[in-house]
Chains A and B, each alone.
Chain A
Amino acid sequence: MKNFYYKTFQRDSKVYLSRSSSFLGPIVFFLITITLYPLAFGSDEEKLAELASGIIWISILLANLLSHQFIFNEDYKDGSLDLVLASGKSLFIWASIKIFVNWYFSSLPLIFLSLLTSFMLYLPFDAALILALTLFLGTPILSMFGALAGALTLERGNIVGSSIVIPMCLPALILGILAIQSYKNEELFFYIFLLAAFLFFSIPILIASCLGAIRLHFE
């Protein structure tokens, strides 16, 4: 008999892999947004290299908004969320698994893609590595805020959710960009550590508030 949490993980992964829209949606969105910037700002090499880190961060932030509605929405609609609540299993671990799987399938591919696209935007290789590192620390924050917004607006559309998520994610964006901009000097570690601190600080708070937001639909 396999563990309940392991089964949740397995099932969610299968759902993500079997449905191309939830797996490929963010990737296509990310690539098309990246393409828009050179088209709008011109293909000048220096200008693009200067803007590259910001372009990639913003595109990932926006692509993240697309996927957060999937995290809890379907379980809410088909009633399995009721069963999880009634089963007495730890909702905290369950929600963490859901968010992790969402991050794994919607953000992790984008991090690898960002390495690829940073060459297309003429970002120096060292900076591109730092970019990937900041994204690695930053995208879980985006996913958790997205999960919170998704949990808050289970019943309705997600325009409200998005407008809540973006201002909350600003510290991650700013710290990430500052780290990439100072990739040559010592300050880099200061920003990286701050970003990591922001991540670890937000894990318990955000997941706990996700649970609060989920429960409000069942009161």
Chain B
Amino acid sequence: MKHLFNQLISFPYFFKIAQISFPYLFLLSIFVILLGVLWGVFFSPVDATQGEVYRIIYLHVPAASVAQSIYYTMVIASITYLIWRIKMASVFMISMAPLGAIFTFLALFTGAVWGQPTWGTWWVWDARLTSTLILLILYLAIISLFSSFDRRASTDQAVSIVVLIGGINLPIIKLSVEWWNTLHQSASITLSGSSIDNEMLIPLLISILGFYLYVTAIGMRRMQIEIIKREISHNWVKEILKEKR
């Protein structure tokens, strides 16, 4: 186990694994997303109160879930980097932050499209929407940190400090925003059970799984690019680039 972990955090080995597994993972994720979304849109029953509109749930919930999960994985990576100085952890953070921003935006956008017919407005200052917006701002602030240092190690350290502080602060922000205002329906799927009918739940879960697979695949690709950027002067990278040519 330890041996496997040591191999995975070495750049050349990870690069090789990512290179082999990316096409399969990517195609699988596209397949699963299409399965979940098409099943949801065409074959699942109509919602009793919201009608056809609710079907955007098959994009909205997975995007929101992925957006938050990316931040929590980044917090774990930041702790890993701050304690053990594993470079792969900072590569992970820097590659995942833009993905997190994109999915947070997607969650906000699909939420707005869903909110228009059901709540009557594109946007309300509700607890969840506000804290998602803050999550987006946090992602963008982290991305803007990428270019504010001359040395790579400083960037890594600064990003991991901000990610960690944000990770401690995010639950507090969420709680305080909830005291401030709340309108959004509370989470329908929890570990103990769900309030959604099975016929809607299964495509939704498939769609969520597909989004996670997609993020894993694209994240691996982005990490590969980041590794090449960092190790451009190393021989193993030069050899790979030569082979490609």
Contacts and interface: CB of A to CB of B under 8 A. Distances in A.
A203 to B, nearest CB: 13
A178 interface: yes
A184 interface: no
A216 B144 CA distance: 18
A153 B138 CA distance: 16
Contacts of A168: 165-166, 169
Given A160-B148, A167-B138, A206-B165, A198 B153 contact: no
Contacts of A116: none
A175 B149 contact: no
Q: How many residues of A sit at the interface, in one of the four size bands?
A: 20 to 34
A75 B242 CA distance: 48
Interface string B116-128: 0000000000000
B169 A219 contact: no
A71 B83 CA distance: 27
Is chain B's interface secondary structure helix, strand, loop, or mixed overall?
A: helix
Q: How many residues of B sit at the interface, in one of the four size bands?
A: 20 to 34
Contacts of A170: 134, 173, 176-177
B34 interface: no
A11 interface: no
A212 B157 contact: yes
- Top 5 nearest A-B pairs (CB, nearest first) are A216-B157, A171-B176, A174-B176, A163-B141, A164-B141
Interface of A: 148, 152-153, 155-156, 160, 163-164, 166-168, 170-171, 174-175, 178, 198, 205-206, 209, 212-213, 216-217, 219
